[in-house]
Amino acid sequence: MRQEVLMPTLSDEAEEGVLVTWFVVPGAPVRADQLIAEVQVEKVSAEVHAPADGRLVEILIQPGEVVRQGAPIAVLEVGAAVGVPASDASAPPRTSPSPVSPSARRLARELEVDLSQMVGSGPGGRIVEADVRAAAEPSAPGARVPGPAAKVEPLSPMRRTVATRLTVALREAAQLTLTAEVDATALAAEMTRLSERWGRRVAYIETIVRACALALGDHPGVGSRWSEEGLVPPESIDIGVAVAVEGGLIVPVIRNADTKGLEDLGREVAGLAERARSGQITTPETRGAIFSVTSLGAHRIDAFTPLLDLPQAAILGVGRARPRPAVIDGQVVPRTLMVLSLTIDHRVIDGDPAAAFLDRVIALLEDPGSLA
Amino acid sequence: MTTETTSRLLTTSKAISEAIAQEIERDERVFVMGEDIGVYGGIFGATEGLLAKYGPEKIMDTPISETGFIGAAVGAAISGMRPIAELMFVDFFGVCMDQIYNHMAKIHYESGGNVSVPMVITTAMGGGYSDGAQHSQTLYGTFAHLPGMKIVIPSTPYDAKGLMIAAIRDDNPVLYFFHKGVMGLGWMTPNPRATGPVPEEPYTVPIGKADVKRAGRDLTIVTVSLMVHRALDAAEVLAAEGIEAEVLDLRSLVPLDREAIAESVRKTRRLLVVDEDYRSFGMSGEVITTAIEEAFDYLDAPPARLAYPDVPIPYSRPLEQFCLPNADTIAAAARTLIKS
Amino acid sequence: MPDNDTLREMHRQMVRIRIFEETLVQVYMEGKTPAFDIAMGPVPGEMHLCAGQEPVAAGVCAHLRPTDAITATHRPHHEALAHGVDMKMMAAEIFGKETGLGHGKGGHMHLFSKEPAFGCSGIVAEGIPTAVGHALAFKKMGRDDIAVSFFGEGAANAGAFHESLNLAALWDLGVVFVCEDNEWAISVPKELSTAIANNSDRAAAYGIPGVLIPDNDPVAIYEAAGEAVARARRGAGPSLIEIKTDRLLGHFEGDAQLYRTKEQIDALKERDALVRFEGQLATSGVLSEQQAAEVWDACRTEVAEAIAFARSSPTPAPASALDGVFA
Residues of B in contact with A123 (CB under 8 A): 340
Read off the pLDDT of residues B44-54 as tens digits, 9 standing for 90 and up. 999 999 999 99
How far, in whole angstroms, is CA A223 from its chain's centroid?
A: 14
Mean pLDDT for B88-115 is: 96
Mean local confidence (pLDDT), B224-245? 97
- Interface list for chain A against chain B, based on CB atoms closer than 8 Å: 101-106, 122-123, 128-129
Please indicate whether residue B135 is annotated as part of the active site: yes
Q: Which residues of B touch C137 (CB under 8 A)?
A: 75-77, 79-81
Are the beta carbons of C50 and C216 closer than 8 angstroms? no
Torsion of CA A270, A276, A281, A283, to 10 degrees: 110
Residue A341, SS3 per DSSP: strand
What is the domain partition of chain B in residue ranges?
Answer: 10-197, 211-339
Query: What pTM value is reported for the model?
Result: 0.67
Q: Which of A23-32, A261-270, B116-125 has the highest mean pLDDT?
A: B116-125
Q: For residue C127, what are the CA distances in angstroms to B205, B259, C76, C163? A: 34, 39, 12, 12
Out of B67, B75, B79, whose CB is closest to C160?
B67
pLDDT in tens, B275-290: 999 999 999 999 999 9
The residue type found at A68 is R
* pLDDT at residue A65, as a whole number: 84
Taking CB atoms and an 8 Å cut-off, how many pairs form between chains B and C?
151
Residues A5 and A51: beta-carbon distance below 8 Å: yes
Looking at residue C122, what is its pLDDT? 92
Which of the other chains make 3 or more beta carbon contacts under 8 angstroms with chain B? Answer: A, C
Between A169 and C17, the more confident residue is C17
CATH ID of A174-371, from 3.40.50.150, 3.50.50.60, 3.30.559.10, 2.60.40.10: 3.30.559.10
CB contact under 8 A, B112 and C110: no
- Find the residue in B nearest to C162 (Cα): B68
Predicted confidence (pLDDT) per residue in A146-160, tens digit: 455 567 887 776 677
The amino acid occupying position C43 is V
Q: What is the mean pLDDT of residues C89-105?
A: 95
Section C178-186 average pLDDT: 94
Q: Does residue A145 have a pLDDT over 80? A: no
Best of A103, A126, A127, A129 to disrupt the B interface (most B CBs within 10 Å) is: A103
A163-172, C142-151, C275-284: which has the minimum mean pLDDT? A163-172
Q: Cα–Cα distance between B20 and C232 in angstroms, integer?
A: 31
Cβ separation A101–B301 shorter than 8 A: yes
Which residues 138-157 of chain C have a CB within 8 Å of chain B? 138, 140-141, 147
| For residue C75, pLDDT beyond 90 | yes
Range with the poorest average pLDDT among A110-124, A251-265, C45-59, C233-247: A110-124
Chain B neighbors of C139, CB-CB under 8 A: none
Residue in B50, B196, B179, B77 with CA at minimum distance from that of residue B122: B179
Range in A214-223, A278-287, B215-224, C217-226 with the lowest mean pLDDT: A278-287
- Does the distance separating the beta carbons of B299 and A103 come in below 8 Å? yes
What is the distance in angstroms between the Cα of A169 and the nearest Cα belonging to chain B?
Answer: 23
Average pLDDT over residues B319-325: 93
Partners of C181 in the β-ladder:
C244
pLDDT of residue C26: 94
Give the minimum alpha-carbon distance from B64 to chain C in angstroms, rounded to a whole number: 9
- C233 pLDDT exceeds 60? yes
Average pLDDT (B298-317) is 94
pLDDT at position A135 is 85
The topology under which CATH files domain B211-339 is: Rossmann fold (3.40.50)
Please tell me the class of the A2-78 domain: mainly beta
The residue among C52 and A163 whose pLDDT is bigger is C52
Q: Tell me which H or E stretch contains B72.
A: helix B66-78
| CA B156 centroid distance within chain | 10
DSSP-assigned states of every residue in B292-333: HHHHGGG-SS--EEEEE-SSPPPSSHHHHHHHS--HHHHHHH
**Cβ partners under 8 Å of residue C244, min gap 6:** C181, C183, C212, C213, C214, C215, C216
> What pLDDT digit, counting tens, does each position of A49-80 carry?
888 888 888 889 888 788 888 889 999 888 75
Residue A169: CB atoms within 10 A of its CB come to 19
Q: Which burial class, exposed, middle or buried, applies to C259 when counting CB atoms under 10 A from its CB (0-12, 13-18, 19+)?
A: middle
The reply to whether B293 touches chain A by the CB within 8 Å rule is no
What is the rounded CA–CA span in Å between residue B106 and residue C117? 17
* A129 contacts B301 by C-beta, under 8 angstroms: no
What's the rounded mean pLDDT across residues A290-306?
Answer: 93
Q: Does B28 touch chain A (CB under 8 A)?
A: no
The answer for B306, left when phi > 0, alpha when psi is -120 to 50, beta otherwise, is beta
Going from N- to C-terminal start, the domains of chain A cover: 2-78, 85-172, 174-371
Could you tell me which residue, A34 or C212, shows the higher pLDDT?
C212
**ipTM, 2 dp:** 0.85
Q: Which residues contact B286 (CB under 8 A, 6 or more apart)?
A: B141, B144, B256
Whether B10-197 and B211-339 share one fold: the answer is: yes
Q: Is B294 on the interface with A (CB under 8 A)?
A: no
Using CB atoms, pick whichever of C114, C163, C325 lies closest to residue B109. Answer: C325
pLDDT in tens, C126-162: 999 999 999 999 999 999 999 999 999 999 999 999 9
Give the pLDDT confidence score for residue B5 in this predicted structure.
Answer: 61
**Percent of chain C whose pLDDT exceeds 90:** 87
**Who contacts C285 (Cβ-Cβ below 8 Å, separation ≥6)?**
none
| Nearest-by-Cβ selection for C159 from B67, B73, B83 | B67
Hey, what domains does chain C have and what are their CATH numbers? 4-310 (3.40.50.970)
Average pLDDT, integer, range A209-236: 92
Q: Which run of H or of E encompasses B31?
A: strand B30-34
Q: Which residue has the higher pLDDT, A134 or C272?
A: C272
Mean pLDDT on A134-149: 59
Cβ–Cβ contact C70 with B under 8 A: no
What is the C-alpha to C-alpha distance for residues C202 and A359, in angstroms, rounded to an integer? 111
Interaxial angle between packed helices B66-78 and C159-170, expressed in degrees from 0 to 180 and rounded to the nearest 10: 70
pLDDT at B2: 52
Which residues of A have a catalytic role annotated?
346, 350
Residue of A nearest to B267 (CA): A103
Which listed residue (B103, B108, B135, B179) is catalytic?
B135
Residues of chain B positioned with their CB less than 8 A from the CB of C159: 67, 95
Model confidence band, residue A138 (pLDDT cutoffs 50, 70, 90): low
Candidate from A90-104, B17-31, C41-55 with smallest mean pLDDT: A90-104
- Mean residue pLDDT of chain A comes to 85
CATH label, B10-197, candidates 3.40.50.2000, 3.40.50.970, 2.60.120.10, 3.40.50.720: 3.40.50.970
pLDDT mean over A10-32: 80
Of C132 and B340, the one with more pLDDT: C132
